[in-house]
Amino acid sequence: MSESSTAASDASSATVRLYYDDATLSRFSAIVTGVADEGRVVYLDRSAFYPTSGGQPHDLGWLADIPVVDVVDEDERVAHRLAEPLGLPTGAMVVGQVDMTRRFDHMQQHTGQHLLSALLADRYGWPTVSVHFGDVTSTVDVAATEVTPEQLVEIEQRANALALDNLEVSVSYEDAESASGLRKASERTGTLRIVTIDGLDRSACGGTHVARTGEIGAVLLRRAERTRGHTRIEFVCGHRAVQRARLDAELLTRAARPLSAAPQDVPVLVEQMQQRLQELERDLKRTALALAGHEALALWNAATPGADGVRRVRLTVAGAVKESEALAQQLTARGGCAVLVTSDTVGGVLLASAADVSIDAGQQLRAALQSVGGRGGGSPRVAQGAVTGGGEGSANLRETLDAVARMLGF
């Protein structure tokens, strides 16, 4: 999607971008025009390496048999970052080799995006807002409030039909002021590089593209989701689409195996299992509440009212005190009761009080914890917090919790 002017320049340090006119050129020779970072960054008089630009990732490959790990667009120049110093002076000739597996993959994704954007704009009235090319999948954001699953299937079918038409993809150079028929108006001046899909699209773009749409291969639309008022469509093309489909099939087959089901039956079975799980969770919650009610009754009956008529129940748990909150509420629901739950493994503290007793759980627990360097608080009926000091289960931690209990009257 990126716009670009031609590489022609009077500047002696400018890099002639060979990929502009031949995206299939994989091997080339060039003169070193500059080095930086102790020879790890190299500048050439000409290069077939595509730098990260317009959302399209950079090429990889080799320069003088040294791996090229990054390619950066520096306006007129292209910087090649190597895995190790080049070891050659300015003026030396080097041979570059582009990783064409990666390059052709990018050509398929980028041309596929041009085709997809043209289809979405012309057929559905959804202009492209932004594009992102990733190493695994790519996305195109369009000005659509929603793209339904049914529409996604329809768009995918039409995109593949257009690709199979094997339309010519060509490159031309035109003056920005006179260039017409562009899908998106260019803000650049001077000469524009125009990528045209015959009868379908004309876009100012500096990226690499296939020669005919048939080379895009399959177009796979994976999903559509709302984002910032637009809709983001995730897609993959060509070899990457085949690999993604194969991986999806393998994952579905693996998921089906333990269910003793056919892959196509997995979605329905998963929905049924999820519904069953929700039912079991509701049953478990009801059982836990009933159990807590019985336990609360036993604890309430066993507790002796103090001089103020309040039954005080202290519970010690091994895990988080919050797990005992339901039990504490069952106890306080009976009235005339206060409950303290402590954990000497994590230092947690929970205080709950019945509505008919003059104990403000939040206020009293906060004051008690602050006095021993802890923190906590909550409502007048239920409050939580924690103390510090010593490791998990240490004697010091238990002593601190006992001190808090005494301050609270337990």
Distance CA 194, CA 169 (A): 10
**Token duo for residue 248:** 């999806």
Residue ranges of domains in the chain? 16-98, 104-257, 285-407
Q: Say if pTM beats, i.e. exceeds, 0.85.
A: no
Tell me if residue 107 falls in helix, strand or coil.
Answer: helix
- pLDDT one-digit tens code per residue, 144-161: 999 999 999 999 999 999
Task: Report, at the CATH architecture level, how domain 285-407 is classified.
Answer: Roll (3.10)
pLDDT for residue 293 = 85
- Cβ 266 vs Cβ 249: under 8 Å: no
Please name the residues in contact with 105: beta carbons below 8 A apart, sequence gap of 6 or more. 238, 239, 240
Sign of the four-CA dihedral 272, 278, 280, 282: negative
Between strands 16-17 and 46-47, the pairing is parallel
- Asked if residue 376 lies in contact with residue 328, where contact means CB atoms within 8 angstroms, the answer is no
Both tokens of 218, joined, read: 């399959």
pLDDT digits (tens, 9 = 90+) for 211-238: 999 999 999 999 999 998 899 999 999 9
Torsion 103-104-110-111 (CA) sign: positive
The pLDDT of residue 128 is above 50: yes
What is the identity of the amino acid at 401?
Answer: L
Looking at residue 389, its pLDDT comes to: 63
Tell me, what's the pLDDT at 291? 86
CA distance 105 to 58: 12
Rg, C-alpha atoms of the chain: 34
Please give the CATH topology (third level) of the domain spanning 16-98.
Elongation Factor Tu (Ef-tu); domain 3 (2.40.30)
Does domain 104-257 fall under CATH 3.30.980.10? My reply is: yes
Please name which of 163, 75, 63 lies closest in space to residue 116, comparing C-alpha atoms.
163
Summarize pLDDT for 319-361 with one digit per residue, the tens: 899 989 989 999 999 999 999 999 988 889 999 999 999 999 9
CA distance linking residue 195 with residue 84, whole number of Å? 36
Please tell me the distance from the alpha carbon of residue 99 to that of residue 169, in angstroms, as a whole number: 22
Task: Give the CA count within 13 Å in the CB-facing half-sphere of 1.
Answer: 20
**Distance between CA atoms of residues 352 and 339, nearest Å:** 5
Share of the chain above pLDDT 90, in %: 73
Q: Maximum CA pair distance of the chain?
A: 98
pLDDT digits (tens, 9 = 90+) for 362-383: 999 999 999 999 999 899 999 9
Strand order of the β-sheet with 219-227 is 128-133, 138-142, 230-237, 219-227
